[in-house]
Each structure stands twice: as structure tokens, then as C-alpha cells.
Amino acid sequence: MKKVIKIICVVLACIVLIVGGYIGYVFVSFHRLGDGALPVQGQAAPGETADGYTIVSYNIGFGAYEADFGFFMDGGDRAWAWSKERLDTNLTAIGTFLHEQDADFVFVQEVDFDSTRSYHIDERPYLTRALSGRQYTFAQNYDSPFLCYPILQPHGASKSGLMTFSREAMLSASRVELPIETGVTKILDLDRCYAKHLVRTADGKELVLYNFHLSAYTSDGTIATEQLKLLLADMAQEYAQGRYAVAGGDFNKDLLGDSSVYFGKADREYTWAQPIPEGTFDGVPVKPVAPLDEENPVPSCRNADGAYHAGQFVLTVDGFLVTDNVTVISSAVIDTGFAYSDHNPVSMRFVLR
């Protein structure tokens, strides 16, 4: 009996050491990437400017979120894309779709380049090949340590970021670090940044472009509001210097205030996407652009707790920000039926006054 107890104690001690060692590894490995300049690559080929510019923003969900995909952090059962072959097909289709949009500026979020979840495929070339004739940057959003969950299919390590494409010449580009939570949840939310680009248009104007993906997996959503306020302050500063500023991306906030008014109630209650708090835009020369066709409303995001289905929680979290000297002509959610991502892309047409 003593021998059995001894064996049990040894096994338990080993488990404690392994778990403790892993927790220590995760916290020691966690790091922030910081601010820094971004290399500008490719060649610009300016288009027509008389009738304004077009911009498309698309969170591609690392190419894995097909309509039958559910992600474990959203309540689904998958940690990786279905397969390398299906991932390749999705990424190729995403590239083709973006090429067909023929936009002057393209913002893409959740582009992996050496992640377990995407079979260590570098997803950037799929986009650069499809969007030739533009300059581009890549801003790494996070570099997360190996996550040993789910047990049967560990999410692993993740390296992902933001890609920005421009037909107009980029004079400079930089990665700007955003605040994140300081508690244990920072391990789930990872690092966060926005990519900032100074562009000179063909008619000599200076336009500042911001590509962003705000926090999602936080305790109460307030950190995403803090991140948004930092971005708004940056845009206001550029506006004060006589420049034009346009931002686009994934707010992880309900841009319509209550999307259920347009898309119906979900079959379950979710709290991760709160509306932007009242007063957030008070005193700043920046306004939000929430794409919506009230006669034919299309959501920009679905909660990926399972395959896309009727009654699933859908809402609009993707959109734009513009300074007061930018006139928005139109904006829309492009309905892809969530074929390649848990997001639909959004577009906007604008002119610089």
C-alpha cells in the first residue's frame, strides 16, 4: 500500500512540475513587439483620383473560417484550419476576390506566416501576387507562445499580422503598439498594434492610412475602447497638421449599436461585442463609418461557435474611421456568405476635400 501511495505521489509531483513549467514558459515567453518602422515593398501604380478612392478591409481569419468552421475560442471545436489543401484553396480564393475588387487601398487582418493553426504556411505571398501594382507593408500583430489547448489539437504558436496595400506612393510606414490588458487574459488576447502609413496622392495631398484589429478576448471589452481612443488621438493630430486620415479594420465592437435590430436575435446571448461607448467621438474631428444597407442589411461578422447557420449570432464589427476633411460617398458590406472567413469584407468610397 505504501508503495502505491508513493507512486501516486511521484506521478502527481511530475504533473505539477509539468503544468507549472508550462505556465512558466508561457509567461516568460510572452513579449510585446513594440513600435517601429515598417519596410515598404512593391511598386505603386496610381489610379484615377477625380471621382475619389476605394478602400476594402477584410479580416480573413487566417483563411480557415469556412462556412463549416467553428473556432475553439468562440465555442467551436477546431483549433486549426481543416487541412493544408483547403487552406490553400481558401487563400487563393481570397486573393482572387481582392484582385477583382480593384480597390486603391486594401487592408487585410489576420494574415499568418508561421503558425501552427495554419500549418506554418506563409499567407503573405497569396496576397502580394493577387494585388500587384501596389506598394505594401506587413505589420506583425502578435507572436504568441505555444498554447497546449485543446488537448487533442493544440492551437500551438501563432504569428500573424496586418497587410496594407496602396496604389498611391507610401512615404513612410510604422507599427504603433496598442495598450492591452495586464492580467492573465493578455495571454489570450496576445499583442496588438495598428499599421500607420503616410501616402502622397497623385495630386499632391498627404493621406494617412491606418489598418487595425482591436482586441477581442478581454475581460469586459474596455481595453478595445482604450485602443480606439489612442487611434482617434493619432488621427486628430494628423488632421490638425492639415493631412487627411482614413482608418479601417476590425473594431470588435458592434458598430450598429444593436445589430439584432437589422439581423434578428441570435439563438444564444453573447457579450463579447459591445457597442462603442457614448461620448467616444466627442471633441475629435473623426467620425465612424458603419457600412449598412438598411433595405438589404448584411452583417460583417458571425460568431464562429460552429458552422454558419440560421439563428447564429451575426453583427457588424468591421468598418472605417475618417477625419472631417474626408467625404464618404458610399460604404457597404460585401456579402461572401462567410465562405472563407468569419468576416465579410467591407468597402468604402471617399474623396479628399
CB-CB contact of 105 with 167 (8 Å)? yes
Where does the pLDDT of residue 77 fall: very low under 50, low under 70, confident under 90, or very high at 90 and above? confident
Say yes or no to pLDDT of 26 above 60. Answer: no
Where does the pLDDT of residue 155 fall: very low under 50, low under 70, confident under 90, or very high at 90 and above? confident
Where does the pLDDT of residue 154 fall: very low under 50, low under 70, confident under 90, or very high at 90 and above? confident
Residue 76 has φ and ψ, to the nearest 5°, of -90, -165
pLDDT for residue 271 = 77
Fold for 33-352, please state it. Deoxyribonuclease I; Chain A (3.60.10)
Q: For 23-32, 195-204, 300-309, which range has the lowest pLDDT when averaged over its residues?
A: 23-32
Q: How far is CA 242 from CA 49, 233, 237, in A?
A: 19, 15, 9
> In angstroms, rounded to a whole number, what is the distance separating the alpha carbons of residues 124 and 108?
10
Residue that is written with C-alpha cell 476594402 in the block: 56
pLDDT for residue 244 = 98
What one-character DSSP code corresponds to residue 343?
A: B
> In angstroms, rounded to a whole number, what is the distance separating the alpha carbons of residues 225 and 275?
10
Where does the pLDDT of residue 25 fall: very low under 50, low under 70, confident under 90, or very high at 90 and above? very low
3-state secondary structure of 76: coil
C-alpha cell at 322: 475618417
Domain residue spans of the chain = 1-30, 33-352
Residue 271 has φ and ψ, to the nearest 5°, of -125, 5
Q: How many CB atoms lie within 10 A of CB 196?
A: 26
pLDDT for residue 218 = 59
Say yes or no to pLDDT of 75 above 70. Answer: yes
Tell me the average pLDDT across 70-93.
93
Tens-digit pLDDT profile for residues 91-131: 999 999 999 999 999 999 999 999 999 999 999 999 999 99
